[in-house]
């Protein structure tokens, strides 16, 4: 009997309560039944920090290599750290072609570190819109739609620690702005940033945005609470929405300049630790087993994470309209912002946003100052 060891974060605990845990526990058991010579050992650890998955990989690789897993589930940030430290094996050439082509484009990027693939994406989360179907028959997809609807828009304009929330980054990207130049250096472009700030100014003038309200909102959870009180439009976290809020609102893409969906997705990925060729084949068979469409869609829906494959989304038991909305959001999603970019550009975007919302500067003046400050 060969043991195949899988380390999992607490969020994906197969020994916990709820439908998702039961589905995963049964799936792992079924894999063992289908491979009588294999025994799957699933071990749950903290997601991050001391005693977490990455920490144990780092310490065990030096002190006790024999306890290392064959497969581990990491988020995209820890995946990069582990891969660059030589703790993971590249997956190039090991992922079945049909599975690779089934992935949404953003998911392919989630598994890449520098120029190699080190992770097979498993589940994702991102920000999207929530709206009341009593107020709108379909989600607004463009700035003009938002202004025409005339409903209050709640987004975390307060940011976090002086850094703009994802929402403003998404607006800038959706307006055609670049975050890096050809050499990979941080960049802000004046025209798209001016357009974003002008949208904020027009929305303020039409009372779609209340500066006093949105500048008091520092998280998507606070946006949802305000939405519960007043209705309108709110930016929400997908994982929270699909576990707690989807019965009270409808999902939509974040409205952008031209209506093309943009989102910044993060998530969990399966990574290969074992260097043994035979164990690698067994581990990749388990990975493919966990992404099998007939099971995978039901599992991701049960735990509130978004699927990373098109066939997985097809397995969600939602209305045709909701599936189309989710499909558009996932098709337009990109990977998460690299922390250095967020930390370099976020304060400049936050300063410009506040200057416009408080009426201290025009959109053009605030954008020009942000661009000049970066230079």
* Helix (DSSP H) and strand (DSSP E) numbers for the chain: 17, 13
Among candidates 119, 83, 114, which has minimal Cα distance to 287? 119
Structure confidence at residue 375 (pLDDT): 81
pLDDT, tens digit, 9 for 90 and up, residues 321-375: 999 999 999 999 999 999 999 999 999 999 999 999 999 999 999 999 999 998 8
Q: Does residue 246 share a domain with residue 110? A: no
Q: Does residue 112 share a domain with residue 85? A: yes
Q: Does residue 194 share a domain with residue 58? A: no
Q: Of the given ranges (6-10, 239-243, 252-256), which has the lowest mean pLDDT?
A: 239-243
pLDDT tier, 128 (very low <50, low <70, confident <90, very high otherwise) = very high
Q: Which residue segment(s) compose the domain that 46 sits in? A: 2-124+266-334
* Mean pLDDT value across residues 115-125: 95
Q: Does residue 285 share a domain with residue 260? A: no
Q: Does residue 116 share a domain with residue 74? A: yes
Q: Across the chain, which distance is largest between two alpha carbons, in Å?
A: 70
Q: Does residue 51 share a domain with residue 91? A: yes
Q: What angle do CA 178, 154, 259 make, to 5 degrees?
A: 45
**Phi/psi at 93 (5° precision):** 90, -10
Among candidates 135, 203, 136, which has minimal Cα distance to 168? 203
Q: Does residue 43 share a domain with residue 153? A: no
pLDDT, tens digit, 9 for 90 and up, residues 17-28: 899 999 999 999
Q: Does residue 256 share a domain with residue 315? A: no
Q: Does residue 26 share a domain with residue 89? A: yes
pLDDT tier, 115 (very low <50, low <70, confident <90, very high otherwise) = confident
Structure confidence at residue 221 (pLDDT): 94
Higher pLDDT, 61 or 123: 123
| Alpha-carbon gap, residue 308 to 305, rounded angstroms | 9
Average pLDDT, the chain: 94
CATH number of the domain bearing residue 303? 3.40.190.10
Residues contacting residue 353 through CB under 8 Å, at least 6 positions apart:
157, 159, 164, 168, 197, 200, 366
| Alpha-carbon gap, residue 157 to 232, rounded angstroms | 16
For residue 241, how far is the Cα from the chain centroid?
Answer: 13
- Core vs surface per residue 104-122: b (16+ CB within 10 A) or e: bebbbbbbbbeeebbbbbb
Quickly tell me which residue has 């050809």 as its tokens: 182
Contact 307, 290 (CB under 8 A): no
Residues contacting residue 135 through CB under 8 Å, at least 6 positions apart:
149, 151, 231, 232
Q: Does residue 199 share a domain with residue 178? A: yes
Q: Does residue 113 share a domain with residue 131? A: no
Structure confidence at residue 66 (pLDDT): 86
Whether 107 has a pLDDT exceeding 90, the answer reads: yes
Count of domains observed in the chain = 2
Q: Give helix 166-174 / helix 339-357 axis angle, nearest 10°.
A: 90
Determine if residue 3 is left, alpha or beta; phi over 0 gives left, psi from -120 to 50 gives alpha, anything else beta.
Answer: beta
| Alpha-carbon gap, residue 159 to 222, rounded angstroms | 12
Token couple for 355: 């200057």
Whether 148 has a pLDDT exceeding 80, the answer reads: yes
Q: Give the whole-number percent of the chain exceeding pLDDT 70.
A: 100
Token couple for 213: 């309200």
Q: Does residue 270 share a domain with residue 260? A: no
H or E segment at 51? none
* Mean pLDDT value across residues 112-121: 93
Whether 246 has a pLDDT exceeding 90, the answer reads: no
């Amino acid at each position: 009997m060969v043991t195949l060891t899988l380390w999992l974060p607490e969020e994906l605990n197969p020994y916990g309560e709820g439908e998702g845990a039961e589905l995963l526990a049964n799936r792992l058991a079924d894999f063992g039944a289908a491979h009588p010579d294999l025994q799957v050992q699933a071990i749950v650890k903290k997601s991050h920090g001391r005693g977490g998955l990455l920490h144990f990989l780092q310490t065990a690789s030096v002190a006790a290599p024999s306890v290392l897993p064959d497969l581990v589930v990491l988020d995209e940030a820890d995946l990069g750290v582990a891969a660059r430290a030589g703790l993971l094996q590249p997956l190039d050439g090991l992922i079945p072609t049909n599975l690779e082509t089934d992935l949404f484009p953003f998911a392919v990027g989630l598994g890449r570190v520098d120029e190699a693939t080190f992770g097979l994406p498993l589940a994702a989360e991102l920000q999207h819109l929530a709206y009341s179907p009593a107020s709108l028959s379909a989600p607004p997809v463009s700035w003009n739609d938002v202004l025409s609807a005339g409903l209050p828009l709640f987004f975390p304009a307060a940011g976090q620690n002086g850094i703009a929330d994802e929402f403003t980054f998404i607006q800038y990207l959706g307006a055609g702005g670049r975050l890096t130049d050809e050499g990979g250096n941080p960049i802000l472009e004046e025209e798209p940033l001016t357009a974003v700030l002008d949208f904020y100014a027009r929305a303020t003038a039409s009372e779609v945005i209340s500066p006093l309200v949105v500048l008091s909102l520092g998280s998507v959870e606070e946006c949802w609470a305000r939405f519960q009180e007043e209705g309108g439009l709110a930016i929400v976290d997908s994982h929270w929405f699909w576990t707690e809020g989807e019965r009270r609102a409808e999902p939509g893409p974040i409205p952008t300049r031209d209506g093309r969906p943009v989102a910044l997705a993060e998530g969990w990925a399966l990574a290969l630790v074992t260097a043994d060729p035979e164990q690698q084949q067994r581990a990749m068979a388990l990975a493919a087993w966990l992404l099998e469409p007939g099971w995978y869609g039901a599992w991701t829906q049960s735990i509130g994470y978004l699927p990373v494959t098109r066939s997985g989304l097809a397995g969600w038991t939602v209305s045709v309209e909701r599936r189309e909305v989710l499909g558009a959001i996932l098709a337009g999603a990109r990977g998460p912002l690299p922390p250095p970019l967020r930390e370099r550009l976020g304060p400049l975007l936050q300063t410009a946003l506040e200057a416009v919302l408080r009426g201290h500067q025009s959109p053009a003046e605030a954008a020009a100052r942000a661009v000049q400050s970066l230079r």
